[in-house]
C-alpha cells in the first residue's frame, strides 16, 4: 500500500510545482503592471489554475502555460521580468498597450519562445543582444511602433535565430543604415519591415539574397542615399514591395521585372528619374502599382498591356509624356487610374470603364484632347471623374446622367460643348459638379434635387434660359456659381430654400425682375454677387436677414430706390458694390458703411452723402456752391488732422525721453518675483537658465528656455521681448499674466510665477518633458503616438479649451489653438498652452472685432481671415484642424499643393464622408479601431464647418468625443472601410505547444493583420 502512495505523490510533485510556478510568475507580473480597466481581474490566488485566466493558454494535457496574449488590454508600466519564469512559453503578445521602459533582457530565458509581439507600445532603449543569442526557436519578432533607438539590431542576423520568418522593426527611431548582414537572415524569412524609422545610407544589395521573402517594407520617414539595388530582382518570391517616401533616387532597376509574383509595388514620393522600365510589364501578378510623385519621364511602356491583374495604376505628378495607350482602357481589372499633373497628350482610351469595375479617374492638368469615353460608368461603380485643365471637346456622355454611383464630377477648364446630361443633377450620391470654363449650352437641368450635392460650378459657359424652380430642391447646396453665362428670366424665389448656401455668384447673366426677398432666408450666405444683370425694382430690405454676409455686389443693374437702412446695419459686411444702378437718396454713413469708399456707389446720379456731394437740389450754381462748401469742409478736416499729428509727435518725443529715464533708473533695480503658488526658487535661479544651450523653442511672443532649479525641479521659462508692462503692444504679456495666473485646471499648462523688471518679463511655467503635439506628429515621432494616445490627447485638449470657453468668467478665447500649443507631460497628458493671443470675451455670445489677424496659418477660421471678427467658434475651427492632424499625421499646410490646406484636402479626398476616412489615415498607425477614427473624423468635420454657426461648442465637442461609439461586430461581419486585404479574423486559440508555434508563425507570415481584435483595422 505504501509504494503506490509514494509513486502518486511523486507524480503530483512533477506536475503541481510547474503549475504553481507559472501562476506565481503571472501574479508577480500582474503586480508589476498598471491595469486600470481590470483586464487581469481573473488572475487571483484564489483561482490557482492559470489555464483559466484571461489571456492564458496551456498545452493540451498539462498545466504549463504556453501562450500569453495580453494585447490591447490598456496595460501600462514596464514589461515584468517575471514573465521569463514561464519556461514552456511559446507565444508572448503584449501589443497595443502603453508599456514603457526597455525590453528586459531576462526574456532571453524563454528558450522555447516562438512568437514575441511587443508592437504599439512606448518601449525605449535598444534591442537586447541577449535575445538574439538565446531565443533560437523564435519565428516572429514584432517590435513595430515603439520608441526604440540606436542602430537596427544586427545580432538577429548572426545565425542564432535560424527559424525567423517574420521581423517587424518599423515605426521606431532606429537610425543608421540597414545592415548588409540582414541579407543573411535566413531562408525561412517571409516578412521584413523597417519602415517608419530614421534610417539612412544606401540600401544594401545583400537584401537580394532573401530569396524566400514575400513582403518587404522599407519606406516612410527613412531617408536613404542612392537608388534601388538591381539585386532586389533576385527576391523572386516577393509579393509586396513598399519603398514609398524614403528619398530614393536614380532609375527603377529593370531587374524588378523578374519579380513574377509581385502583387503590390509602391515607390511613390521619391526622386526616381528616367523612364519606366519596360520590364515591369513582366509582373503578371501585379494588382497595385504606384509610381506617383517622382521625376519619371518618357512614356507608358507598351509592355504594360500584359498587366492583366492591375487594379490600381497611379503615375500622377511626374514628367511623363505621349499618349495614354489604348490598352489601358482594356485592362480587365482596372479600378483606379490617376495620371494627373503630367504632360500626356492625345485622347482618353475609348474603352475605359468597359470592364465594369472602374471607380476613379483623374487625368487633370495634362494636355489631353478628344472626347470623354462613353462607357466610363458601364459597371455602375464610377464615383470620381476628374479631367479639369485639359483641352477636351465634344459632349459630356449622356450615360453619366444615369450613373447612380457618381459622387464627384470635375471637368472644368476644357472645351466641352453640348448640354448638361439629363439626370445628372438627380444622382443620389452626387456631391460636387464643376463644369466651369467650357462651351456648354442649353439650359439648367429642369429636373434636379440631388440632396447631397454641395457644389454646382457652371461659370464661364454659354448656358441659357431661366433658372428652374427646382433649384430650391438642392437642400445641401453650399456653392452655386453660375456667373458668366446667358441665363435669363427672374431669379426664382425658391433659392431661399437653400439653407446651407454659403456662396452664390449669378453675375454676368441676363437675369431680370427684382432681387427676390426670399434670398434673405439663406442665413449662412457669406458671398452674394448678382452684378451685371438686368435686375430692376428696389433692393429688398430682407437681404439683412443674411446675418453673416461678408460680400454683396449688386452693381451694373437697374435697381431703384434707396439703399435700405437695414442693410446699413449689417455688421458682417466687409465689401459692397452698389455702383451703376438707378439708386437715389442718402448713402448711410453708419456701421460698416462708414468704411466703404465712393467707388462702391458710383454711377448712381441720385445718390448723395459722404464722398458723393451734398443731398439737396437746386441750380447749377447752387450745386457748385455746395461742392465748394464740401471742399472747404475737407480742408478743415485736413488741418485738424495735421494739428493732431503735430501733437502726437510732441507727445511721442516726450514719451521716449521718459522711457529713457526709466530705463536708466531700472538698471539698478532688482528683479521682482510674483508667484502664483509656493515656489522654492528665486529670480536668480530663473535667470541662470537663460542660456543659448537651454533654448527649447521660439515663438511670436518670445523665446522659451528649459530651466533646472536648485531643488532639481524642471521649469520652462518664457522670455518676452523688451516692452513696458503697461503697453498695449506688450507681445501678449498682459493677456497671459491675467489669464494664466488665476487658472488651475488639469489640462491647462500652469503658470508658476513670473519675474520682471522694467525691461524684461519672464514667465515661469511647469515643464512638459514630451514637448508639443506638433513636434511629435510632424517631427518623425508620430509613429510613437498610437491611436489610443491620440484619442486621449484629443479629449484632454478639448476639455482644456472647454474650461476656457465655458468655466472662466469672463470667458476666454485662446485665438492660437494649434498642435504646437498642446504640450504633453511625461504621461502624454495634454495641456493647452501659450495664451500670448488670449482675449477675454466681455459679452458672452458676441464677436470681438480685432485689429489684425491673430493665429497661425492653416488654423485660422474662414470668417476670421475675412472679417477679423472672432468668437469661441474660431477656436473650435482651429481645434478641428488639430483633430485632422491627429487622424492624418499631416501638417495643416504645405503638403497638399499651392493654396490647399488640410481642411480642403480631406474634403476632396473623402467628400466629407466619415466612411472614407481610411483614405486619409496616418500610415504610421498600425492597428486602429476604425469606428473610433470615423467618430473623431465626424467631430472634426463639425468643427471645421465653413459657417461658424454650424460648429459645435467646445462643451459639445467634449461630450461627443467622450462618448465614442461601441462597435462589437458579429462573427464574420466586416467593418466599414475594410476592404480587400484587410480581413479581420479572430485570434486563433492555442491548444498544444506545437499548434501555438505553427499558428503564430502562420499568422505573421501570411496575414500579419489576422490576430487583431475584430474591431480593429490594420493599415
Read off the pLDDT of residues 420-435 as tens digits, 9 standing for 90 and up. 998 899 999 998 999 9
User: pLDDT tens digit string along 878-890?
Assistant: 999 999 999 999 9
Residue 992 has pLDDT above 50, yes or no: no
Interatomic CA distance for residues 23 and 3, integer angstroms:
31
Cell digits for 734? Answer: 498682459
At 582, the pLDDT band (50, 70, 90 cuts) reads very high
- The pLDDT value recorded for residue 621 is 33
Question: Residue 742: which pLDDT band, with cuts at 50, 70 and 90?
Answer: low
Write the CA distances from 724 to 5, 655, 727, 839, integer angstroms: 94, 12, 6, 19
Instruction: Retrieve residue 439's grid coordinates.
Output: 462651351
As a whole number, mean pLDDT of residues 637-651 equals 73
d(CA 496, CA 540): 13
Per-residue pLDDT, averaged over 766-781, amounts to 83
Q: Is the pLDDT of residue 565 over 70?
A: yes
**19 or 403: whose pLDDT is higher?**
403
Torsion over CA of 474, 478, 482 and 487, rounded to 10 degrees? 30
The confidence score (pLDDT) of residue 341 equals 92
pLDDT (mean) for 537-550 = 89
User: Residue 454 corresponds to which cell in the numbers above?
Assistant: 454641395
pLDDT, position 721: 56
| Average pLDDT for 537-560 | 91
Q: What gap in Å lies between CA 605 and CA 598, rounded to an integer?
A: 13
Residue-level pLDDT at 658: 61
Q: Which of 408-417, 602-611, 810-819, 955-964 has the highest mean pLDDT?
A: 408-417
Query: Mean pLDDT, to the nearest integer, of 770-791?
Result: 80
Q: Confidence band (pLDDT; 50, 70, 90) for 988?
A: very low
Cα 356 to Cα 352: distance, rounded to the nearest angstrom: 9
Distance CA 918, CA 749 (A): 33
pLDDT in tens, 196-213: 899 999 999 999 999 999
Between CA 493 and CA 517 the distance in angstroms is 8
C-alpha Rg value of the chain to the nearest Å: 34
C-alpha cell at 83: 514573465
pLDDT of 209: 92
Check if 672-767 and 772-966 are the same fold. no
Percent of residues, the chain, with pLDDT higher than 70? 82
**What number is the average pLDDT over the span 639-647?**
74
Q: What is the mean pLDDT of the chain?
A: 81
For the segment 442-501, what is each residue's pLDDT rounded down to a tens digit?
A: 999 877 667 788 899 999 999 999 999 989 888 888 899 999 999 999 999 999 999 889
Q: Give the C-alpha distances (Å, rounded to integers) separating 54 from 41, 47, 57, 71, 82.
A: 8, 12, 9, 11, 18
What's the mean pLDDT in 132-146? Answer: 90
CB atoms near residue 712 (< 10 Å): 7
Please confirm, yes or no, whether 330 is among the known catalytic residues: no
Q: Which of 57-61, 80-84, 266-270, 517-521 has the lowest mean pLDDT?
A: 57-61
DSSP label of 330: G
> CATH: 2.30.110.10, 3.40.50.1860, 3.40.50.620, 3.80.10.10. Which one for 441-616?
3.80.10.10
Domain ranges of the chain: 441-616, 672-767, 772-966
C-alpha span between 613 and 598 (Å, rounded): 10
Where in 757-811 does DSSP place strands (E)? 761-766
Residue 768 has pLDDT above 80, yes or no: yes
Coil, helix or strand for 709? coil
For residue 779, CA distances in Å to 878, 882, 901, 923 come to 20, 15, 19, 15
d(CA 892, CA 141): 36
Q: Decide which of 640 and 463 is more confident.
A: 463
Query: Which contacts (CB < 8 Å, 24+ apart) does range 645-649 have?
Result: none
Higher pLDDT, 595 or 101: 101
228 has a pLDDT exceeding 50: yes
Locate cell 470635375: which residue?
A: 410
- Inter-residue contact 409 to 434 (CB < 8 Å): yes
**Out of 263, 816, 834, 875, which one is annotated catalytic?**
816
CA distance 207 to 185: 9
- What is the C-alpha separation between 570 and 554, in angstroms, rounded? 16
Tell me which CATH code domain 772-966 carries. 1.10.510.10
* pLDDT at site 973: 39
Out of 1.10.1060.10, 3.30.200.20, 2.70.70.10, 3.30.56.10, select the CATH number for domain 672-767. Answer: 3.30.200.20
Q: Is the bond into 1009 cis (omega within 30 degrees of 0)?
A: no
pTM over 0.75: no
Question: Which residues are within 8 A (CB) of 285 and not within 5 positions of it... i.e. 6 or more apart?
Answer: 239, 260, 261, 262, 263, 309
**Residue 691: how many other CB atoms lie within 10 Å:** 11
For 491-507, write each residue's pLDDT tens digit. 999 999 998 898 999 99
Residue 214 binned pLDDT confidence (cut-offs 50, 70, 90): very high
Amino acid at each position: 500500500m505504501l509504494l503506490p502512495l509514494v509513486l502518486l505523490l511523486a507524480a503530483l510533485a512533477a506536475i503541481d510545482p510547474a503549475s504553481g510556478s507559472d501562476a506565481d510568475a503571472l501574479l508577480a507580473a500582474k503586480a508589476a503592471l498598471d491595469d486600470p480597466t481590470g483586464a487581469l481581474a481573473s488572475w487571483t490566488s484564489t483561482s490557482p489554475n492559470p489555464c483559466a485566466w484571461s489571456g492564458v493558454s496551456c498545452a493540451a494535457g498539462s498545466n504549463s502555460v504556453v501562450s500569453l496574449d495580453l494585447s490591447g488590454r490598456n496595460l501600462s508600466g514596464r514589461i515584468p521580468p517575471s514573465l521569463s519564469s514561464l519556461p514552456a512559453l511559446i507565444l508572448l503578445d503584449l501589443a497595443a498597450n502603453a508599456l514603457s521602459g526597455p525590453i528586459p533582457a531576462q526574456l532571453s530565458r524563454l528558450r522555447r519562445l516562438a512568437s514575441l509581439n511587443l508592437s504599439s507600445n512606448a518601449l525605449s532603449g535598444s534591442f537586447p543582444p541577449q535575445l538574439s543569442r538565446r531565443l533560437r526557436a523564435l519565428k516572429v519578432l514584432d517590435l513595430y511602433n515603439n520608441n526604440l533607438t540606436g542602430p537596427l539590431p544586427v545580432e538577429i542576423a548572426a545565425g542564432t535565430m535560424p527559424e525567423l520568418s517574420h521581423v517587424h522593426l518599423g515605426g521606431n527611431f532606429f537610425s543608421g543604415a540597414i545592415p548588409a548582414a540582414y541579407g543573411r537572415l535566413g531562408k525561412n524569412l517571409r516578412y521584413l519591415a523597417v519602415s517608419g524609422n530614421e534610417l539612412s545610407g544606401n540600401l544594401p544589395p545583400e537584401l537580394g539574397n532573401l530569396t524566400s521573402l514575400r513582403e518587404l517594407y522599407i519606406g516612410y520617414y527613412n531617408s536613404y542615399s542612392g537608388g534601388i539595388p538591381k539585386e532586389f530582382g533576385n527576391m523572386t518570391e516577393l509579393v509586396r514591395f513598399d519603398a514609398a517616401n524614403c528619398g530614393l533616387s536614380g532609375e527603377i532597376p529593370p531587374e524588378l521585372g523578374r519579380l513574377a509574383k509581385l502583387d503590390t509595388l509602391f515607390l511613390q514620393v521619391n526622386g526616381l528619374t528616367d523612364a519606366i522600365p519596360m520590364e515591369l510589364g513582366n509582373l503578371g501578378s501585379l494588382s497595385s502599382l504606384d509610381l506617383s510623385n517622382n521625376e519619371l519621364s518618357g512614356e507608358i511602356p507598351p509592355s504594360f498591356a500584359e498587366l492583366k491583374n492591375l487594379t490600381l495604376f497611379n503615375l500622377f505628378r511626374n514628367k511623363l509624356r505621349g499618349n495614354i495607350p489604348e490598352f489601358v482602357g482594356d485592362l480587365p481589372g482596372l479600378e483606379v487610374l490617376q495620371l494627373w499633373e503630367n504632360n500626356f497628350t492625345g485622347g482618353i482610351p475609348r474603352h475605359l470603364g468597359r470592364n465594369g469595375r472602374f471607380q476613379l479617374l483623374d487625368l487633370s492638368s495634362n494636355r489631353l484632347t478628344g472626347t470623354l469615353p462613353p462607357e466610363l460608368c458601364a459597371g455602375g461603380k464610377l464615383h470620381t471623374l476628374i479631367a479639369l485643365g485639359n483641352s477636351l471637346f465634344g459632349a459630356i456622355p449622356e450615360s453619366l446622367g444615369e450613373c447612380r454611383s457618381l459622387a464627384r464630377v470635375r471637368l472644368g477648364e476644357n472645351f466641352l460643348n453640348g448640354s448638361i446630361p439629363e439626370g445628372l443633377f438627380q444622382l443620389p450620391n452626387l456631391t460636387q459638379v464643376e463644369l466651369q470654363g467650357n462651351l456648354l449650352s442649353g439650359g439648367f437641368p429642369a429636373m434636379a434635387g440631388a440632396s447631397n450635392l454641395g457644389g454646382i460650378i457652371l461659370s464661364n459657359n454659354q448656358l441659357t434660359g431661366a433658372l428652374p424652380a427646382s433649384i430650391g430642391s438642392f437642400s445641401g447646396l453650399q456653392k452655386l456659381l453660375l456667373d458668366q453665362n446667358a441665363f435669363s428670366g427672374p431669379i426664382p424665389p425658391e433659392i431661399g430654400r437653400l439653407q446651407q448656401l454659403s456662396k452664390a455668384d449669378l453675375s454676368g447673366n441676363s437675369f431680370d425682375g427684382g432681387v427676390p426677398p426670399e434670398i434673405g432666408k439663406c442665413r449662412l450666405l457669406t458671398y452674394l454677387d448678382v452684378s451685371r444683370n438686368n435686375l430692376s425694382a428696389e433692393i429688398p430690405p430682407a437681404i439683412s436677414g443674411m446675418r453673416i454676409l461678408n460680400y454683396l455686389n449688386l452693381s451694373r443693374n437697374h435697381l431703384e430706390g434707396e439703399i435700405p437702412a437695414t442693410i446699413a446695419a449689417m455688421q458682417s459686411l466687409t465689401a459692397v458694390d452698389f455702383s451703376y444702378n438707378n439708386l437715389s437718396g442718402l448713402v448711410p454713413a453708419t456701421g460698416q458703411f462708414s468704411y466703404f469708399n465712393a467707388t462702391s456707389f458710383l454711377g448712381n446720379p441720385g445718390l448723395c452723402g459722404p464722398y458723393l456731394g451734398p443731398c439737396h437740389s437746386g441750380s447749377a450754381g447752387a450745386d457748385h456752391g455746395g461742392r465748394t462748401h464740401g471742399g472747404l469742409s475737407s480742408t478743415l478736416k485736413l488741418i485738424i488732422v495735421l494739428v493732431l499729428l503735430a501733437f502726437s509727435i510732441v507727445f511721442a518725443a516726450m514719451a521716449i525721453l521718459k522711457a529713457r529715464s526709466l530705463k536708466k533708473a531700472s538698471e539698478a533695480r532688482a528683479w521682482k518675483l510674483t508667484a502664483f503658488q509656493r515656489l522654492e526658487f528665486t529670480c536668480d535661479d530663473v535667470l541662470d537658465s537663460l542660456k543659448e544651450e537651454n533654448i527649447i523653442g521660439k515663438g511670436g511672443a518670445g523665446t522659451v528656455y528649459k530651466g533646472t532649479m536648485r531643488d532639481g525641479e524642471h521649469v520652462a521659462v518664457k522670455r518676452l521681448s523688451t516692452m513696458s508692462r503697461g503697453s498695449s503692444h506688450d507681445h501678449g504679456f498682459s493677456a497671459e499674466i491675467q489669464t494664466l495666473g488665476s487658472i488651475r485646471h488639469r489640462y491647462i499648462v500652469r503658470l508658476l510665477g513670473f519675474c520682471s523688471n522694467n525691461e524684461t518679463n519672464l514667465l515661469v511655467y511647469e515643464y512638459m518633458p514630451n514637448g508639443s503635439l506638433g513636434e511629435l506628429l510632424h517631427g518623425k515621432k508620430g509613429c510613437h503616438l498610437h491611436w489610443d494616445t491620440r484619442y486621449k490627447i484629443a479629449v484632454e485638449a478639448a476639455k482644456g479649451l472647454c474650461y476656457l470657453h465655458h468655466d472662466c468668467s469672463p470667458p476666454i478665447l485662446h485665438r492660437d489653438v494649434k498642435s504646437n500649443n498642446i504640450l504633453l507631460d511625461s504621461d502624454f497628458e495634454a495641456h493647452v498652452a501659450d495664451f500670448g493671443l488670449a482675449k477675454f470675451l466681455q459679452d458672452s455670445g458676441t464677436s470681438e472685432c480685432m485689429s489684425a489677424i491673430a493665429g497661425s496659418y492653416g488654423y485660422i477660421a474662414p470668417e476670421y481671415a475675412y472679417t477679423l471678427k472672432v468668437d469661441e467658434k474660431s477656436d473650435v475651427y482651429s481645434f478641428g484642424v488639430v483633430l485632422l492632424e491627429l487622424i492624418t499625421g499631416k501638417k495643416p499646410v504645405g503638403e497638399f499643393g499651392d493654396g490647399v490646406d488640410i481642411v480642403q484636402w480631406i474634403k476632396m479626398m473623402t467628400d466629407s464622408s466619415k466612411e472614407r476616412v481610411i483614405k486619409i489615415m496616418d500610415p504610421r498607425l498600425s492597428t486602429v479601431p476604425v469606428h473610433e477614427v470615423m467618430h473623431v473624423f465626424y467631430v472634426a468635420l463639425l468643427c471645421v464647418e465653413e459657417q461658424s454657426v454650424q460648429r459645435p461648442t467646445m462643451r459639445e465637442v467634449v461630450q461627443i468625443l467622450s462618448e465614442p461609439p461601441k462597435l462589437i461586430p458579429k462573427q464574420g461581419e466586416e467593418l466599414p472601410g475594410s476592404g480587400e486585404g484587410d480581413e479581420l479574423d479572430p485570434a486563433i486559440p492555442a491548444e498544444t505547444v506545437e499548434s501555438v508555434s505553427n499558428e503564430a508563425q502562420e499568422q505573421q507570415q501570411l496575414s500579419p493583420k489576422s490576430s487583431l481584435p475584430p474591431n480593429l483595422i490594420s493599415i
